Chains A and B, each alone.
Chain A
Amino acid sequence: MSEKLYNIISKVFSVPISEINDESSPETIESWDSFNVLILVDELESNFNIKFSVSEIIDVKNVKDIKRHLKNHGVV
């Protein structure tokens, strides 16, 4: 899951994969703003064929949170 996830994050936020880790967040990635997060959600949903709830989306503070929610949706 991580590899696919990192690829998507890298594409959406235009950052190299090497700079992405569990702690990546709006503090470490400049282009991580409220709009790009929604683009990221859209990409994750179409790539993993899932649908997040509003509370899941607004709860995301860093990459670790994304992984947790993906796991809850059965993505391994």
Chain B
Amino acid sequence: MERKLSEYISLSQTIDVTKSSKKIKVGILSSFTINGLGETLTVKCSESDIECKSYVAGYNQYNQEILDPKSKLYSFAPDITFLIIDIRTLLNKIFHHPYSISSSERKKIVKEKISELRNLILQFKKNCNSKLIISNFSLPSYSPSGLIETKSEFGFHDMISEINQELSGIAKDESSVYVYNFNQFISKFGEKNIFDYRQFFIGDIKIAFDYIPYLANDLMGYVKPMLGLNKKCIVLDLDNTLWGGIVGEDEFDRIELGQSSNGKAFVEFQKHLLSLWQQGIILAINSKNNFEDAIKVIREHPGMILKEEHFASLQINWNDKAQNLKVISEELNIGLGSIVYFDDDPVNQERIKQEIPEVLTVKLPEDPSQYTDILMSLNDFNVLQKTDEDLKRGKMYSQQRQRTELEQSTKSIDDFLKQLNIKVTIKKADKFTIPRISQLTLKTNQFNLTTKRYQEEDILKFSSDNNMIVGCAQIEDKFGDNGITNAFIIEKNDKEWKIDTFLLSCRIIGRGIEDAIISHILKEAKNQGIKKIRADFIPTKKNSPAEAFLPNCGFKKENEYWVYDLNNPIKSPNHLLLEVE
């Protein structure tokens, strides 16, 4: 349940944001009074361990703020800016009297409005590095022409739809610009609830107080992935979570899945989980059951939407559930902070919350009919760009299970590595790889020497800088393609190079891949007549897997840096093939 706006406002005065590990600056521009949104975002950010500073532009000042290069907004230098213009403001008197003019005049007005919006977006991009989230326009439930609105030649609603469509088109071409579907927000909660005439007449408030927190919740959906806080994996209990009833106590054909009203609720929940899996969210199971009983339902029950192949890990046993979650996190090589946990039992929920607070434990009600709605209202699975790697993730994790099986059946680690037939392809930063490189810097926590986070625009800038090298590597083996799972950024000068960023997606650690890539970089530097390479290890709570990497590769500590003297021979692993594209 969402809290009231007044609660957020009073909370915002008491929270201590200085403890937060991440920071963000949020700009808010609006064509109407939107007090309280900044405070709500501050509270919601602090609950996600983010220190949020916000700048809320004066009432209806968005034009000046965007068009004046010296505006307060630009000197505040936001990381992300929300621009919310409402349809009344945009259309002005045409909003009430769209049929006082001809259809060709309406078309002309729409063209003008689109070019105004495009200009605002382009000016903003010119003056500021911030991401821009611009809201689209809500289709009013009302039309002066009543029920024949839909028959009108380029009518009132057509005007707004056209503007929305053009706006999406602009955002598709601009990588740092996103359209927030405000129209969808209004249809979700209802125009009659959101637009309160009293608040509108008294204070030019166009989103009623009760709905500001819901709006903030949607906007947090953009903030979280920017800081790499989006979730990657859903771990599920089985009994009364994925199906109704208790396996082992209830007969197989009494399991509620499909036929009964409750059974339909579980099927609906599974369908939504499957659609998340298709978007690259990893699924896993953590349940207390006899493995044989539970797997029989998964494999054989006609109502099961999710199949064995959709689960990257099956922890079905009588072990402690907190322990199982840790096993899943290790097995899949993903941080506990990337996991969302669904379990119907309040005792288990509490246990996980206490034992592993990093995991997002969802508060599930007793009634399964609410499960889907709860799943869909989570704003934690958003990403700001979707790469090929994301869409293939589900498949990659099942290949991973096959690799583990090979590892367990092979006697020595060397034999295992040789049998994998690993191929490393070093790639340059280009328009195909830049989104992924940025994503890796935002998401990689474990094998990451410096944990510097870069947006797409940053990577683009670095890649066109002659004094920098930005690269990445695609890893393939006999089980399949791991995609681009390494990235590196190097600052060059005449005598020495400095490694700004070197990271590896955790699912490929421990196969000599990192050694091969660093050895490639060392050789490259040597070929260019460089004497030394400097590197840095910045410890965080999570990057201990990368701690021993530099000394193991032969880097020596000099003051606060790790230095490799290129007069020394360069070792490279011989079990894999490295190609430079």
Residue ranges of A at the interface with B (Cβ–Cβ < 8 Å): 11-12, 14, 34-35, 38-39, 42-43, 46, 52-54, 57-58
* Nearest 10 interchain pairs by C-beta: A35-B35, A42-B209, A39-B6, A54-B198, A38-B203, A54-B201, A43-B6, A57-B202, A54-B202, A34-B203
Q: Can you give 19 A-B contacts (C-beta < 8 A)?
A: A11-B6, A11-B10, A14-B10, A14-B13, A35-B33, A35-B36, A38-B202, A38-B205, A38-B209, A39-B5, A39-B36, A39-B209, A42-B209, A42-B210, A43-B4, A53-B198, A54-B198, A57-B198, A58-B202
Q: Assess A35 versus B6: contact at CB under 8 Å? Given A14-B13, A42-B209, A57-B198.
A: no
B306 at the interface (CB under 8 A from A): no
How many positions in chain B have a CB within 8 Å of any CB in the partner chain? Answer: 17
Hey, what's the 0/1 contact readout for B1-37 against A, CB within 8 Å counting as 1? 0001110011001000000000000000000010110
User: How far apart are B15's CB and chain A's nearest CB, in angstroms?
Assistant: 14
B467 at the interface (CB under 8 A from A): no
Contacts of A42 in B (CB 8 A): 4-6, 209-210
Interface contacts beyond A38-B199, A42-B4, A43-B6: sample of 11 additional A-B pairs, CB < 8 Å, sorted by A: A11-B6, A35-B35, A38-B203, A38-B209, A39-B5, A39-B6, A39-B36, A42-B6, A42-B210, A46-B4, A58-B202
Hey, what's the 0/1 contact readout for B197-225 against A, CB within 8 Å counting as 1? 01101110100011000000000000000
Contacts of B4 in A (CB 8 A): 42-43, 46
Interface of B is mostly: helix
Specify the chain B residue showing the minimal Cβ separation from A33.
Answer: B35
Contacts of A57 in B (CB 8 A): 198, 202
Q: Taking each of A12, A42, A46, A58, which has the highest tally of chain B beta carbons within 10 Å of its own beta carbon?
A: A42
CA distance A10 to B199 in the complex (A): 22
User: How far apart are B514's CB and chain A's nearest CB, in angstroms?
Assistant: 54
**B6 touches which one: A12, A52, A53, A58 (CB < 8 A)?**
A12
Contacts of A58 in B (CB 8 A): 202
CA distance A43 to B10 in the complex (A): 13
CA distance A58 to B6 in the complex (A): 20
Contacts of B36 in A (CB 8 A): 35, 39
Specify the chain B residue showing the minimal Cβ separation from A51.
Answer: B198
CA distance A12 to B442 in the complex (A): 39
Contacts of A14 in B (CB 8 A): 10, 13
CA distance A46 to B13 in the complex (A): 23
Contacts of B205 in A (CB 8 A): 38
CA distance A34 to B35 in the complex (A): 11
Contacts of B6 in A (CB 8 A): 11-12, 39, 42-43
CA distance A43 to B36 in the complex (A): 15
User: How far apart are B303's CB and chain A's nearest CB, in angstroms?
Assistant: 42
CA distance A19 to B33 in the complex (A): 29
Contacts of B201 in A (CB 8 A): 54
Specify the chain B residue showing the minimal Cβ separation from A11.
Answer: B10
Hey, what's the 0/1 contact readout for B55-81 against A, CB within 8 Å counting as 1? 000000000000000000000000000
Contacts of A39 in B (CB 8 A): 5-6, 9, 36, 209
Specify the chain A residue showing the minimal Cβ separation from B9.
Answer: A39
Q: Taking each of A38, A54, A58, which has the highest tally of chain B beta carbons within 10 Å of its own beta carbon?
A: A38
CA distance A58 to B198 in the complex (A): 11
User: How far apart are A70's CB and chain B's nearest CB, in angstroms?
Assistant: 17
Specify the chain A residue showing the minimal Cβ separation from B208.
Answer: A42
